[in-house]
Amino acid sequence: MNRKGISMSDFSFMKRMSDEDAYLFKRCIRKMLETTFIVADKDEKLYDFIASESNQYDVNSYLAAIGYKVVVEERMKVAMLQQADEDVETVGLKRSNLYRFDSKQMKLLLVLWLLFLERMGYADSVYVTVGDIIDKCKVYQVEMKPAEFKDAYRVFKRFSLVDYSDDIGTEEGKVRLYPSLQFCMDIGQLKRVMAEYSEEETTEAGDKEELEEEPESEDMDE
């Protein structure tokens, strides 16, 4: 769609909507702009609305005016907001839904993503305990304080990536992992996390080699 010629008449489809559909249409638009994702496991009614081919077309017609589109991953039942293809390389356009996770949050997201992949079943919800997450973090040397975990969970919940029980501060606390975890980081963020992790692994390997060599040096000195 050429946005230069867009006028209010292009949105005439909204006048033909029932009150219920108009309400769901507005909710979908606002939800997408605020949280990027609509997940069937969390917002089934909104997902069912936007997954309809005709509704998806109308939503995309509306969002095209501001340089966005909605993509629906039917197998995982996730709808996501993305920048329109023609605007990806446009200089000066800022992505309003691009949230910059810090390094620890991105590493935790990778841990949650790995846990999701290990346990997912297309018909079942995926739950893990806080203890499961901490154990997995130890495997990948992700060190976070309890307050940092809580802050990260809060941010992830905001973007419909996870949900959690009230006892999130204990190891028995339950965290529900949503399939949107698979789509939450762009390639640049993912590469940066992997590069940092590889760098840490290399540094640790070098430290171990030095430790192994030290006794030999002492023997030679003696």
Q: Are 199 and 192 in contact (CB under 8 A)?
A: no
Q: Are 215 and 146 in contact (CB under 8 A)?
A: no
| Confidence class for position 78, pLDDT limits 50, 70, 90 | very high
* 133-162 confidence digits (pLDDT tens): 999 999 988 999 999 999 999 999 999 999
173 occurs within a structural domain:
yes
| Residue 187 sits in the same domain as residue 110 | yes
| Residue 79 sits in the same domain as residue 115 | no
Q: Which of 60-64, 72-76, 128-132, 208-212 has the lowest average pLDDT?
A: 208-212
| Residue 119 sits in the same domain as residue 198 | yes
Q: pLDDT at position 220, please?
A: 32
Q: Are 173 and 129 in contact (CB under 8 A)?
A: yes
142 occurs within a structural domain:
yes
2 occurs within a structural domain:
no
Which comes out higher in pLDDT, residue 114 or 214? Answer: 114
157 occurs within a structural domain:
yes
Cα torsion through 109, 112, 113, 117, rounded to 10: 180
pTM score of the predicted model = 0.76
220 occurs within a structural domain:
no
| Residue 78 sits in the same domain as residue 112 | no
207 occurs within a structural domain:
no
Which range marks the domain in which residue 77 is found? 11-84
Give the chain's count of helices (H) and strands (E).
7, 6
Which comes out higher in pLDDT, residue 108 or 192? Answer: 108
Pairing assessment for the beta strands 126-129 and 162-164 based on DSSP bridges: unpaired
| Residue 112 sits in the same domain as residue 79 | no
Sheet holding 37-39, edge to edge: 37-39, 78-83, 68-73
CATH code of 185's domain: 1.10.10.1540
Domain total for the chain? 2
| Residue 163 sits in the same domain as residue 196 | yes
d(CA 110, CA 113): 5
Q: Side-chain half-sphere of 9: how many Cα atoms within 13 Å? A: 1
Three-class SS of residue 182? helix
130 occurs within a structural domain:
yes
Q: Are 44 and 160 in contact (CB under 8 A)?
A: no
Last residue of a domain, one of 26, 51, 84: 84
213 occurs within a structural domain:
no
* 94-138 confidence digits (pLDDT tens): 454 567 788 899 899 999 999 999 988 765 789 999 999 999 999
